[in-house]
Amino acid sequence: MRFFRYILPALALLVTPTMSRAQHFVCDTIIPERIVVKSSQYGITLFNNLDTYLSNYKFTGLGIHYSHETFRDVKTGNHKWKYQRLLNGDIGYGIQQYNLQYSGLLNYNWSGYHSFEVHPKLSLLAGIQIQLEGGALYVPGNGNSPVAAKIRTAIAASGMAIYHFRVLKSEWIARYQIDIPLAGVMFAPQYGQSYYEIFGLGHCKGIISFTYPGNCPSWRHFLTLDIPLKNKRNSSTLRIGYTADLFQSNINGIRCHIYKNSFTIGLAKTLFKVKKENKLNLYSPY
C-alpha cells in the first residue's frame, strides 16, 4: 500500500503535462486567432523611373511582380486587432531611347490595425506600418556610376476598407488599402559622389538622410478582389489585384521617382481551419 501511496502521485505528475498539451492543441484548432489567411500573387509591373544620380531622363518599361501576404487576428480574443505581413518584389527593365535600365526592388511591411465595423458588410481598419525596402537601379552604359542603390526604412500610416458582398451563392470580398510613409531614414549619397568615394575612401558623411513627406512624398495603394472557387468560406479563393506604388524623393541634390503599377492574380488560402460542426468555421479575419 505504501508503494501505491508514492507511485500514484508520481504517475499523476507525469500524465498531467501530457493532458495539458493535448487540451492546448484542441483549443488551438478552434480559436479564431489561429486562423490565418495567406496569399501569393504574380503579375506584371509597368515602370516609370527617374534617378538623376544615373540620368536626367525617365525610363519606362515592364517587369515581373510577386506579392505574398499573411493576414490574421492578434491574440486578444475580441477580433478588433489585426496584423498583416506583406512582401513585394519586382524585377524589370526600362528603355530611354537607346539606353537600358535594369531594376530589382524588394520591400517588406509589417502592419498592425484596429478594426471598426461600420456595417455588417463593411469594416474599416486603421493602423501603423513598418516599411523596409532594398534594391538597385542599374544602367550599363553609365560608365563610372552605373548603379543607384535603394535602401530605406520608414514608419507609415495605413488604412484599409473591407467590403463583403454576395454574387449568386458565394461571398466575394473587395479590399482597398493605402499606406503613406510619415518618417524614416534613407541611403542618399550626394550628387556626383561615387560609391568608390563612399565605400573605398570612407567618405560617408551625410549619406543617411531623414525622410518625411516634405522630401519624400510617397504612397502606395492597392485593391484586391477575392472570388471563392467553391461555395465554402474556407476554401481556396482566387485573388485579383492592382497595386500602385509611387515613390518620390528629392534629397542631397538628387531627384528620384519610382512609379510601379502592378496587375496580379493568385490564390488566397485559409489555414488552421476548424471542423465543419464547430460554429467558428464561418469566421474569417477579414
Give whole-number Cα distances, 51 to 7, 141, 146, 249, 258, in Å: 77, 15, 11, 9, 8
**What's the pTM?**
0.81
pLDDT tens, residue by residue, 13-54: 333 333 333 322 333 444 555 678 899 999 999 999 999 999
Share of the chain above pLDDT 70, in %: 81
Kindly state the DSSP code that residue 279 receives in the 8-state scheme: G
- Distance of alpha carbon 257 from alpha carbon 105, whole angstroms: 13
Residue 156, pLDDT > 50, answer: yes
Nearest alpha-carbon partner for 222 in 34, 98, 88: 88
User: Does the pLDDT at position 2 exceed 60?
Assistant: no
Mean model confidence pLDDT for the chain: 83
Asked whether the beta carbons of 55 and 254 are under 8 A apart, the reply is: no
